[in-house]
Amino acid sequence: MSGEFRVRELVLGIQGLALLRNAVDGDDAFLRQRVEDIRRFASAEPGREPFPDGGAAVSELDAASGYAAWSAVYDSLPSSYIEVEEPVVSSILDDVAPGVALDAACGTGRQSRVLAGRGHRVIGVDQSPEMLAKARANTPEGDFRVGHLDRLPLDDDSVDLAVCSLAMTHLADLAPGAAELARVVRPGGRIVVTDLHPFVIALQGQCLFVHGADELAFVRNHVHLPGRYLEAFGRAGLRVRACHEPLFNGRLAPGGYEEFIADAARAAWDGLPIVIVWDLEVPTPKESRT
């Protein structure tokens, strides 16, 4: 699947969302500015003032190809999603004693480093050899394996903790991934799953990255409302301890089109959850009978 990075349409969408969310009780001057901007941008020619450069081709890649291309720059890109996710995950991990920990869909090993630093013996699994090469370099003491989230190369009941960060949303069906995490974690063990919040995916679409000299690409994120997660976790026999939904922190992607319309972009996302974090537990046989 291919398309085009349409700057005018994206700018108009953000302006419209900011206007929609503030239409009832927003500041009059702010609302007038949004309407003025929408008129000005709608009448302008794409690729010309007042727009920043745009118009690059956009391709959808599968997870293996996408993360192979993304791996070279992944760790260097600032991310508001990661910034709001990490403190929540850290607070959950404070309650987990060191043991054998799985970093599922580990990517470059961001969570692997954290887990190793907390005294866990880390196993990282990812389908991208390019991402795994980065993870091995970042956490040499880890055991990193090629594998898929819905077919983990681990034995049943073989880890005490599993962390899966910003990856399950790539699955069209959450159930196989949830079942695999439940399978490999011992009874009484913990699972932490984080994802882009479905609100963000539904409103913003896909996360783009540079692919090649003059092209953008994305790996599809599917919209899974909280009820879908609850259904998948329930079918896997998991207990939900807590669900956290950290909010947008005001950071816009440096150099992105939203910086061009920063007031509207911050108003569009203000107060919305941008990440969802699930704190889960595998019940013991005794707990499962109660």
Residue 55 and residue 7 in contact, taking contact as beta carbons nearer than 8 Å: yes
- DSSP for residue 3: E
The reported pLDDT for the residue numbered 120 is 98
The reported pLDDT for the residue numbered 205 is 76
The model scores a pTM over 0.95: no
What is the distance, to the nearest Å, from the Cα of residue 204 to the centroid of all Cα atoms in its chain?
13
The reported pLDDT for the residue numbered 213 is 66
Token pair of 43 as six digits: 């009448």
Q: Kindly give the confidence (pLDDT) of every residue in the chain, 290 residues in length, as a single tens digit, with 9 standing for 90 and above.
A: 567 777 888 889 999 999 999 999 999 999 999 999 999 988 877 656 565 555 678 888 888 888 888 777 777 666 889 999 999 999 999 999 999 999 999 999 999 999 999 999 999 999 999 999 999 999 999 999 999 999 999 999 999 999 999 999 999 999 999 999 999 999 999 999 999 999 999 998 788 877 776 788 888 999 999 999 999 999 999 999 999 999 999 998 877 788 889 999 999 999 999 999 999 999 998 776 55
Q: Give 215's strand partners.
A: 57
Domain residue ranges of the chain, discontinuous segments joined by +: 2-282
Give the contacts of 15 (CB within 8 A, at least 6 positions apart). 34, 37, 38, 41, 261, 264
The reported pLDDT for the residue numbered 53 is 56
The reported pLDDT for the residue numbered 175 is 98
Q: Write the CATH number of the domain with boundaries 2-282.
A: 3.40.50.150
Give the contacts of 92 (CB within 8 A, at least 6 positions apart). 190, 192, 242, 277, 279
